[in-house]
């Protein structure tokens, strides 16, 4: 006789509230020490978090980041990832304390999900630093052995039918490719082999599209399911993920996460599921969000059309945080 298994219960969803605010932690792109170094050195929130990070990893994150940035090395190295995480969370701390921002939910596309799970309370900062360091080593080891020539390339102003045409030509040649990100209309991340990258870029240009940057290590490709298993078995399995105190928007599906299982799945989906920013935007709109605060160095998610069309976008960056607040108050009084 077969036992009937109870059906999985959907996560409880908070009631939407119109006029709400979300904090969004951006994905990680190239960012310069000169843009954030003074903030890391002088901001009280950043100094507190850096001290914690240093204790976790056993070295000075600030010093390693400064040195590697000056040498134009380690763009996505372990210490650079931790520095980026620290900057993003410290800026969110500053926005709460100084600007009074109190978000109803949070989101973090791509690498930004690390900051989101910390801000939402699913992982303490110390644990997220450890997770980031261990996952960086895990990915480095994986890509030394598998998909050694894979990269992820960003294309814009490329209608989907034109992209599909270029990808079909790769199929005809027997070349592997995966879509790793849906960012906006005509804006995609594509993973493929580096030896065919120049030819692919040329074809995108011929089809009227525009090529942006190329990333290594590659990200978010369905072909990387073995990396997902490796990360789960060797890293994430030792971490205890809690229910978030603040709902999180999943970057691979747009689902609103309110339970630990969903957060854990999101952290694993990042390895072999493409990110879907338009789905995240739609979820935030459906929850009554009208303002998004982008906490961290961002040249992408706060600037694309689908974000600007749907929200008031507030950039929370190091330059804004370093601006003297007394002068701003004086200027407001002067205008009155």
DSSP designation for 100: -
Burial class (CB in 10 A: 0-12, 13-18, 19+), 288: middle
Q: What is the mean pLDDT of residues 171-183?
A: 96
Give me the residue spans of the domains in the chain: 20-145+222-329, 150-215
**CB-based contact 251:244 (threshold 8 Å):** no
Nearest to 262 by CA among 277, 251, 276, 274: 251
Q: What is the mean pLDDT of residues 80-106?
A: 94
Q: What pLDDT score was predicted for residue 5? A: 40
d(CA 170, CA 202): 13
Tokens, residue 106:
């949070």
d(CA 81, CA 200): 29
**CB-based contact 263:244 (threshold 8 Å):** yes
d(CA 85, CA 60): 15
Q: Which CATH homologous superfamily contains domain 20-145+222-329?
A: Malonyl-Coenzyme A Acyl Carrier Protein, domain 2 (3.40.366.10)
Q: What pLDDT score was predicted for residue 12? A: 56
Q: What is the mean pLDDT of residues 139-162?
A: 95
The CA-based angle 333-334-336, given to 5 degrees, is 65
Fold exhibited by the domain 150-215: Alpha-Beta Plaits (3.30.70)
Q: pLDDT tens for residues 213-248?
A: 898 899 999 999 999 999 999 999 999 999 999 999
Q: What is the mean pLDDT of residues 182-192?
A: 96
pTM exceeds 0.85: yes
Where do the H-state alpha helices sit in 146-253?
160-172, 197-206, 225-234
Burial class (CB in 10 A: 0-12, 13-18, 19+), 119: buried
**CB-based contact 332:307 (threshold 8 Å):** no
Q: What pLDDT score was predicted for residue 8? A: 44
């Amino acid at each position: 006789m077969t036992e009937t298994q109870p059906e999985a219960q959907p996560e409880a969803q908070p009631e939407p509230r119109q006029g709400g605010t979300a904090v969004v932690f951006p994905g990680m792109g190239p960012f310069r020490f000169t843009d954030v170094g003074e903030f890391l050195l002088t901001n009280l929130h950043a100094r507190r978090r850096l001290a914690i990070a240093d204790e976790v990893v056993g070295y000075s994150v600030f010093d390693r980041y400064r040195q590697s940035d000056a040498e134009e090395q380690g763009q996505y190295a372990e210490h650079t990832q931790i520095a980026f995480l620290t900057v993003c969370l410290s800026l969110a701390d500053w926005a709460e304390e100084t600007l009074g921002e109190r978000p109803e939910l949070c989101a973090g596309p791509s690498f930004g999900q690390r900051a989101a799970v910390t801000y939402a309370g699913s992982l303490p900062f110390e644990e997220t630093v450890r997770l980031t360091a261990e996952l960086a080593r895990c990915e480095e080891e994986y890509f030394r052995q598998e998909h050694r020539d894979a990269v992820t390339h960003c294309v814009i102003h490329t209608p989907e039918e034109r992209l599909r045409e270029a990808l079909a030509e790769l199929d005809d040649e027997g070349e592997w490719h995966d879509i790793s990100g849906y960012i906006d209309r005509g804006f995609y991340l594509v993973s493929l082999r580096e030896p065919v990258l120049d030819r692919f870029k040329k074809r995108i240009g011929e089809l009227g599209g525009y090529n942006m940057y190329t990333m290594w290590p590659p990200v978010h490709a369905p072909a990387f399911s073995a990396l997902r298993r490796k990360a789960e078995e060797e890293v994430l399995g030792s971490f205890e993920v809690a229910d978030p105190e603040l709902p999180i928007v999943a970057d691979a599906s747009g689902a609103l996460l309110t339970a630990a299982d969903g957060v854990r799945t999101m952290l694993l989906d990042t390895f072999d599921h493409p990110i879907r920013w338009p789905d995240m935007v739609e979820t935030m709109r459906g929850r009554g969000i009208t303002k998004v605060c982008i906490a961290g160095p961002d040249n992408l998610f706060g600037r694309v059309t689908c974000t600007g069309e749907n929200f008031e976008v507030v950039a929370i960056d190091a330059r804004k945080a370093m601006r003297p607040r007394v002068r701003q108050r004086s200027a407001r009084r002067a205008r009155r």
